[in-house]
Amino acid sequence: MDMKSLYLLIALSPLVGSIIAGLFGWAIGRRASHVVTILGVAVSAALSFKVLYAFLTGQAEVFNAPVYTWLTVGGYEFSVGFLVDSLTAMMLVVVTFVSLMVHIYTIGYMQEDPGYQRFFSYISLFTFSMLMLVMSNNFIQLFFGWEAVGLVSYLLIGFWFKRPTAIYANLKAFLVNRVGDFGFLLGIGLVLAYFGGSLNYSDVFAAAPALANKTIQIIPGCDWSLLTVTCILLFIGAMGKSAQFPLHVWLPDSMEGPTPISALIHAATMVTAGIFMVSRMSPLFEMSDTALNVVLVAGSITALFMGFLGIVQNDIKRVVAYSTLSQLGYMTVALGVSAYPVAMFHVMTHAFFKALLFLGAGSVIMGMHHDQDMRNMGGLRKYMPITWLTSLLGSLALIGTPFFSGFYSKDSIIEAVQLSHLPAAGFAYFAVIAGVFVTAFYSFRMYFLVFHGKERWMEKKDDHHHGHDDHDHHHGLGPNDKPHESPWVVTLPLVLLAIPSVLVGFFAIEPLLYGSFFKGVITINSEAHPALEELAHEFHGSVAMGVHAFTSLPFLLALAGVVTAWFFYMKAPQIPAAIKQKFSFVNQILENKYYLDELYFAVFAKGSRALGTFFWKVGDMLLIDGLVVNGAAKLVGTFSRVVRKLQTGFIYSYAMTMIIGVLALMTLWFSQIILR
């Protein structure tokens, strides 16, 4: 099989499964629907591992070629093409492996749902869309994949379309992402206008150095660097898709979708599309320190302030959602200091342990009969041992415990920021180092509340309508119910995700960050942005890094966060209650998510409605209908009524009018003679 056919098979296998399950699922049934979609994704995953292995062993060559030309307009040619290099290969494995785990998990999680076949069709369609995004070799195909994953995200957030909250959440995600996509599209427009009329990555990157000093005038008389404007506009697209402040507000609400979707789309794959895109565009971003500082500040704010929101959440899925926001902030910070390989390394490790945490949360929700409120849990360790152990491993990876995968990527980000010379690096370092304590605290607050302590669900058995319902049927433990471990189709993906969550960082850090894996794929100006190069001098192997970490500040802060969470929620639960009461103002700000939803509603939703009302009442009703259309008709009518009264039908009236007219003309004539 030639490489072109291989890559086509990787991309199209999930699409075939999606079409069969979506169009013919009603005829072939549930079992055949999940078999055909899982088979499609399994084929993609197996071939993706083959491609990654080839790149790791140096056997593969970069593939960059068009596959199909679908439009030619004037001098422009738009085609479907694949760029498969080491960066693509890594993303292929992440996307297909996590997707495969989610497909298997879904068999157990969605078994009672009437939309079973539709769900499998959607998640396979998402996998195809994401593969098209990461394999693209041009901006048009990138934008197609970008919008396709957004569409499927919209469909899946609102999967339970009879629930008003789900419809509100998917509409919110759609609208917020349109803001980011508008900036992204403008950035692509600038590329098309100034970079030689081509949208192929290789052509754009080749043309970029000649445009290093090119300026454009957005505001007359004010010169802006073309590359800075282009990069910032492209990054606005990433801010929407990767949920960076202030375009992050859609992601927590996306938890309205089924839990497998939260794991696949909103933790492991789609939200990392922005990180991938900026890494792919590194030759452009390296030419603009201004753009990098914008990236750095946005990531820093997201990493720290979204972590704060995780502290006050009681819905188990929303804690993991805010954790995702914070970790996306860490990835963005790494991009800002030109440590693109570190950002992509964290994309990979985070995909495994965050998918594990989301699927673990889903397993807990199943065991609790679809009650998501952590205040109604506790003591689940002895009832759900596999979920407990895998969730513990995922939490340890998340907080950066030495020798776990998350440690190697997260600590590399912190060190890279510390070594950066950009103006915003000081604030960024404070944000990421403070975020370590915050992450450890809310992660183990969730862990202790769910798996240890009092069995609070025993006290709630009389109330079957608490928590946030993840399904439309029965929820909450009944009087005779006990929590129970999930079936093997749920626990098997947890175990398989736990393995890379623990091990992959140890083995991958050296080739990914300090080897030749990304050589020639990611561009870094080492003279201007030496953080990664300086990081390489301090690296002495995975074991040495892990051992040294036990005396480092991030480890001590993470340990402090875990101990504080244990003391607050296991030993002295009255302390957090007292803090909440004493600092009720701060707690209210956090529970209302910094009032950003209200601000956006007041400024944009109400503002746009007020503007629309003004144009409707003043522009349409008053000016167009009232003055132009109806006004002209009224003017003709009024004039006609006056003229009609002059038509009496009597000869003497007309004779009198003629005499008066003649006298008027004579008077005018005599007055002109006198004036001369």
65 close to 82: Cβ distance less than 8 angstroms: yes
Strand partners, 224: 216
Q: Go through the chain and tell me how many residues it has.
A: 676
DSSP string computed for 433-473: HHHHHHHHHHHHHHHHHHHSS--GGGGGTT--S-S--SSSS
Average pLDDT estimate for 505-527? 87
Residue 210 has, within 13 A of its CA and on its CB side, a CA count of: 8
208 close to 227: Cβ distance less than 8 angstroms: yes
- Kindly indicate the confidence band of residue 465, based on its pLDDT and cuts at 50, 70 and 90: very low
Model confidence at 468: pLDDT above 60: no
Lowest-pLDDT range, 310-319, 594-603, 655-664? 594-603
- Kindly indicate the confidence band of residue 476, based on its pLDDT and cuts at 50, 70 and 90: low
Instruction: Say how far apart CA 155 and CA 470 lie, in whole Å.
Output: 16
Model confidence at 250: pLDDT above 80: yes
Instruction: Say how far apart CA 236 and CA 187 lie, in whole Å.
Output: 9
3-state secondary structure of 111: coil
At residue 262, the pLDDT reads 81
Tens-digit pLDDT profile for residues 642-675: 877 777 778 877 788 889 889 998 988 888 888 7
**What is the CA 81 to chain-centroid distance, rounded?**
24
Tens-digit pLDDT profile for residues 47-59: 999 999 998 888 8
66 close to 141: Cβ distance less than 8 angstroms: no
**What is the CA 367 to chain-centroid distance, rounded?**
29
Task: Give the torsion through C-alpha atoms of 286, 288, 289, 292, to 10 deg.
Answer: -70
Tens-digit pLDDT profile for residues 392-413: 999 999 998 999 999 999 999 9
At residue 474, the pLDDT reads 44
Model confidence at 478: pLDDT above 80: no
**DSSP H or E segment with residue 163:** none
Instruction: Say how far apart CA 532 and CA 390 lie, in whole Å.
Output: 32
Q: Which amino acid is residue 306, in one-letter code?
A: M
Tens-digit pLDDT profile for residues 115-140: 888 989 999 999 999 999 999 988 98
Instruction: Say how far apart CA 125 and CA 18 lie, in whole Å.
Output: 5
331 close to 347: Cβ distance less than 8 angstroms: yes
CB contact burial 213-248 (16+ within 10 A = b; e otherwise)? eeeeeeeeeeebbbbbbbbbbbbbbbbbbbbbbebb
Average pLDDT estimate for 571-581? 88
At residue 467, the pLDDT reads 42
At residue 489, the pLDDT reads 85
Token pair listed for 542: 């995975």
3-state helix, strand, coil in the chain (%, to 5): 75, 5, 20
C-alpha distances in angstroms, 376 versus 270, 379, 569? 31, 10, 14
Model confidence at 544: pLDDT above 80: yes
Instruction: Say how far apart CA 299 and CA 600 lie, in whole Å.
Output: 20
Task: Give the torsion through C-alpha atoms of 256, 260, 263, 264, to 10 deg.
Answer: -110
3-state secondary structure of 36: helix
Which segment, 87-96, 266-275, 617-626, is predicted with the most confidence on average?
87-96
Name the nearest CA neighbour of 257 among 371, 338, 368, 163: 163
Report the share of the chain in percent with pLDDT over 90.
36
- Kindly indicate the confidence band of residue 466, based on its pLDDT and cuts at 50, 70 and 90: very low
Instruction: Say how far apart CA 631 and CA 462 lie, in whole Å.
Output: 68
SS (H, E, C) 197-253: CCCEHHHHHHHHHHHCCCEEEEECCEEEEHHHHHHHHHHHHHHHHCCCCCCCCHHHH
Average pLDDT estimate for 358-363? 90
* Residue 452 buriedness (CB in 10 A; 0-12 / 13-18 / 19+): middle
- The set of residues, in sequence order, having a beta carbon less than 8 Å from that of 44 and lying 6+ positions away, is 9, 10, 11, 13, 14, 92, 96, 99, 127, 131
Work out whether the CA dihedral 190, 193, 194, 196 comes out positive or negative: positive
Residue 78 has, within 13 A of its CA and on its CB side, a CA count of: 12
At residue 477, the pLDDT reads 63
Model confidence at 297: pLDDT above 90: yes
Average pLDDT estimate for 436-447? 93
Give the strand pairing for 215-219 and 63-73. unpaired
Model confidence at 456: pLDDT above 80: no
- Kindly indicate the confidence band of residue 563, based on its pLDDT and cuts at 50, 70 and 90: very high
Structure-model confidence comparison of residues 614 and 462, the more confident one: 614
Average pLDDT estimate for 189-197? 87
Average pLDDT estimate for 166-194? 90
Instruction: Say how far apart CA 15 and CA 37 lie, in whole Å.
Output: 9
CB contact burial 82-114 (16+ within 10 A = b; e otherwise)? bbbbbbbbbbbbbbbbbbbbbbbbbbbbbeebe
Structure-model confidence comparison of residues 46 and 469, the more confident one: 46
3-state secondary structure of 66: strand
Model confidence at 490: pLDDT above 80: yes
Report the share of the chain in percent with pLDDT over 70.
96
Residue 506 has phi, psi (to 5 degrees) of -60, -45
User: What does the mean pLDDT of the chain come to?
Assistant: 87
